[in-house]
Amino acid sequence: MNLFKFPEDAKKEVKKKILKGLKPQAFKEITTNEIDEAIDEATKGITNIDLAGFISDPSAFCDKCGECCRRCDQILLTPEDVTILGSLFSSALHYYVKVEDGKFFLRHTKPCVFLRKNKCMIYNFRPLVCRQFPLTQDENRNLTLAWYPYCKVPINMSAFKALGFIMKKIIEKTDPALSKAMEEWAESHFTALKEGRQADQIIALTKFFKEHEFYFNKKKGQA
């Protein structure tokens, strides 16, 4: 089950990005209604394709604002995180790590003790939860995207996705033969990748995106 709920008022931000990203000639082919429909479609939920797109290139959707490092309530550490931090800080580890109810957490968050000049001082060794942010697990342990009002990842992902729908619509109108060929290509490449357990799908789709990344330009605000 997909628990991701995109707030209605955040759609305005997505629209602003799209209007900025589309070149003037696009507006000759697409109506405002069709743009709104593309935004509705893009924000109605998170698919495994979206998650794999993010995992294959998180930096394309992250504004690098550092808000997640300034506002984190608590950072749960895995045993592997603690081992890594232990090798970095040895006897000073207790200054950075605390134990509560048998679980390990970073001490000193809000802002995180490792944030300096908007950069993570342990970037290559940062905890798993930081590497995955803003991805999380739903109650069925399926991967999904969490909504944090300060994080622009869902906005950037949705704008990218909506632009894809808009481009598809424009191609349908202006070049039906190309549109048909694209549909057939997507059918043959994606159908098998959308079967099986979520984890297997995401691994297969992420591999696919990495292998084909030169086809995609995920940089925000570009169509």
Query: Peptide bond before 154: cis, by omega within 30 degrees of 0?
Result: no
When asked if residue 200 is in the footprint of ligand SF4 (CB under 6 A), the reply is no
Q: Are 156 and 14 in contact (CB under 8 A)?
A: no
| Complex with ligand SF4: residue 112 or 159, whichever CB lies closer | 112
When asked if residue 154 is in the footprint of ligand SF4 (CB under 6 A), the reply is no
Helices (H), the chain: 11-21, 32-42, 48-56, 67-70, 79-89, 93-96, 128-132, 153-174, 176-190, 198-211
Q: How far apart are CA 160 and CA 177, in angstroms?
A: 24
Q: Are 120 and 114 in contact (CB under 8 A)?
A: yes
Binding footprint of ligand SF4, residue count (CB under 6 A): 24
When asked if residue 152 is in the footprint of ligand SF4 (CB under 6 A), the reply is yes
| Complex with ligand SF4: residue 125 or 208, whichever CB lies closer | 125
Of the candidate residues 3, 10, 62, 82, the single one contacting ligand SF4 (CB under 6 A): 62
Of the candidate residues 23, 64, 117, 141, the single one contacting ligand SF4 (CB under 6 A): 64
| Complex with ligand SF4: residue 124 or 191, whichever CB lies closer | 124
When asked if residue 120 is in the footprint of ligand SF4 (CB under 6 A), the reply is yes
